[in-house]
Amino acid sequence: MSNRDSNYQCVIVGSGVAGAVVAQRLLEADPKTSIAVIEAGPRVPLKDRRRWWDFVSTAENPYEKYHDLALGRENQSVGDETWVFQESRLMGRGGSTVHWGGWALRFKEEDFQTCSRTGRGADWPISYDELEPYYGLAEHLLGVSGKAEDSHGKVNPRRSSEYPLDAFPFVVADRPMIHAFENEGISYGHMPMARFRKCMTTGTCRYCPFGARFTAAYMWDAMEANPQYENLRMFPDSPCERLVCGDRRSVRAIEIRDPKSGDISRIEAEKFVIASGSYESPKLLQRSESQYWPSGIGNDFDLVGRFLISHPFLHVRAAFPSNANRWNQELDFPTLMSRHYDSPDEQPQGKLFLFKDRSRPSLDLASMMINGKRRVEINRASIGPMEFELQGFMEEFSNFDNRVTVGEGRNRAGMPQTKVNFSRNTDFRDRAATRLAIMERIVRIMGAKIAVSAVRTQRGDHAASTCRMGSSPADSVVDRNLQVHDVENLWICSNAVFPTGAAVNPTLTLTALATRLGDHLNGLRRAS
């Protein structure tokens, strides 16, 4: 056992957007703050032209080595519903914002009151009004492109500030779906996207050669290059083993493993922030057993890892018989979305967030030319059947028995593998059928022929609620300030603390929570 540089003021576990925002907030208040950032994965090469050309020419996934392997090779899914890990998160400096789509939507006011309104799930111990100013700060930090006028009616929640960047316009291929929405009186709007630098719209957003799509890695680049932040240290390739308690009410150190040698090092600090996602946050608490916490830190009531939720993904694929206008998807992200069914009226059955598929209609001209297709064949294909897909995220309600625990063996980053036990709620099939019927009706109004209408296998992209916040240790793991109950110097800042998942993507809400936590920690420092 060796000690790395001790006496840090703060240890942050995880280098995704939550960890980066907390670090930035602390350093802006006091540039001399000593912070150790613990990241299980390596530094991920970004803005690398060679990798971009490989992606463009061969469609090779530039993040393959940073993802979980397929089931059977890594992690375990043991519930009635298969839980897919592969490509749902990224293990590396910058976390999952390195590979995310950049969709940046606020939760709505009623999303913070799910249990009160529906009798399902749990209420948040904070309100939308409390988080609203931080949503504005988060949108400016991420560089969100949006349109405030979309905030009327059912489209978006009330807001006190404008988006920092103009919304991307609808693409021409959005027109048939827009017409269907209008014919049905369905409100719609522009998809808010985190594009914090000049986007050149290459159509290769999954690996941006310019660095236009926000990722937390760019925040770390700026912080590590700032000479004022001389006490910031990044420890990549350093999976955490456990937290070491000094007594019942405090954490003294964290132990990290060298994945090559297996050697264990210990880092001590005054404060600890766990920002490592909905899998690793509860697993770290579970592994941190001691005489003070026999079942793991914060787990006296067997709540750590419980209530796992994610977004059921619904899709209706259809086609028009021809594409006379030769439309092709122009951008590698959706521009059209609807929050019409993301409303209080729909909440008891699970809200529905709709969006147009980012990849259709599509004609791969490059592949056709490479394969020697003649011009007449390419022309014929370009006006042939036009396929598209209406997609949706459906709100799901938490279930005590759905949980994350420590699995068998270690993954490629050296972390203990993850075991997920997940089953659908008994009424899920009926509720999903009503949502698919809504989507099918919209598609039929467009005059297209439906080929597929289904719920996809459950993925963990938006996993949440495994260390949810609440009022007491009997119903939650952390309090309204994200502090682990009864532990004075330990906070969790990840999707794990969400009491509910709402219907939309979680990253903007997490960024707002992290900004709020940074201010809270600065307030504690001033008070002392």
* Angle between the N-to-C axes of helices 17-29 and 216-225, in degrees from 0 to 180, rounded to the nearest 10: 30
Q: Is the pLDDT of residue 153 over 70?
A: no
pLDDT-derived band at 527, boundaries 50, 70, 90: low
Q: Cα–Cα distance between 359 and 212 in angstroms, integer?
A: 19
Q: Which comes out higher in pLDDT, residue 295 or 212?
A: 295
* Angle between the N-to-C axes of helices 507-527 and 128-142, in degrees from 0 to 180, rounded to the nearest 10: 100
Q: Which residues pair with 320 in a beta bridge?
A: 386
Q: Which comes out higher in pLDDT, residue 51 or 511?
A: 511
- What is the per-residue pLDDT across 89-123, written as a single tens digit (0 to 9) for each? 999 999 999 999 899 999 999 999 999 999 999 99
Least Cα distance to 418 among 237, 236, 239 occurs for: 239
Half-sphere exposure of 343 (CA within 13 A, CB side): 15
Q: Is the pLDDT of residue 208 over 70?
A: yes
Percent of the chain scoring above 70 in pLDDT: 97
pLDDT at 40: 96
Find the range with the poorest average confidence among 47-51, 183-187, 361-365: 361-365
Q: Which residues pair with 420 in a beta bridge?
A: 77, 404
- Contact criterion met (CB below 8 Å) for 202 and 49: no
Find the range with the poorest average confidence among 147-151, 473-477, 511-515: 147-151
Q: Which residues pair with 77 in a beta bridge?
A: 420
pLDDT at 7: 84
Q: In what order do the strands lie in the sheet with 313-320?
A: 189-190, 336-338, 352-356, 386-394, 313-320, 449-455
Which amino acid, residue 217? A
pLDDT-derived band at 528, boundaries 50, 70, 90: low
Token pair recorded at residue 236: 């990549």
Q: Is the pLDDT of residue 331 over 90?
A: no
pLDDT at 282: 98
Q: 316: helix, coil or strand?
A: strand
pLDDT at 74: 94
Least Cα distance to 240 among 7, 4, 85, 39 occurs for: 39
Please give the CATH superfamily to which domain 2-47+74-90+106-527 belongs: FAD/NAD(P)-binding domain (3.50.50.60)
- What is the per-residue pLDDT across 373-396, written as a single tens digit (0 to 9) for each? 888 887 887 787 888 999 999 999
pLDDT-derived band at 264, boundaries 50, 70, 90: very high
pLDDT-derived band at 5, boundaries 50, 70, 90: low
Q: Cα–Cα distance between 161 and 148 in angstroms, integer?
A: 8
- Where would I find the beta strands (DSSP E) of 362-415? 386-394, 403-410
Domains in the chain: boundaries: 2-47+74-90+106-527
**Residues 6 or more apart in contact with residue 260 via CB below 8 angstroms:** none
**DSSP per-residue string spanning 56-90:** HHH---TTGGGSPPPTTTS-EE-SSS-EE-TTS--
Which amino acid, residue 186? I
- What is the per-residue pLDDT across 401-420, written as a single tens digit (0 to 9) for each? 999 999 999 999 999 999 99
- What is the per-residue pLDDT across 295-329, written as a single tens digit (0 to 9) for each? 999 999 999 999 999 999 999 999 989 888 888 77
Q: Cα–Cα distance between 321 and 307 in angstroms, integer?
A: 45
Mean pLDDT of the residues in the chain: 92
Q: Cα–Cα distance between 245 and 500 in angstroms, integer?
A: 30
pLDDT at 403: 97
Which amino acid, residue 31? P
Token pair recorded at residue 361: 């209609």
Q: Cα–Cα distance between 440 and 452 in angstroms, integer?
A: 10
pLDDT at 371: 80
Burial class (CB in 10 A: 0-12, 13-18, 19+), 220: buried
pLDDT at 316: 97
State pTM to two decimals: 0.95
**CA distances, 169 to each of 146, 147, 195 (Å):** 10, 10, 14
pLDDT-derived band at 259, boundaries 50, 70, 90: confident
How would you write 428-471 as a 3-class SS string?
HHHHHHHHHHHHHHHHHHCCCEEEEEEECCEECCCCECCCCECC
- Contact criterion met (CB below 8 Å) for 242 and 284: yes
Token pair recorded at residue 314: 């619904």
Find the range with the poorest average confidence among 162-166, 197-201, 423-427: 197-201
pLDDT at 108: 95
pLDDT at 197: 67
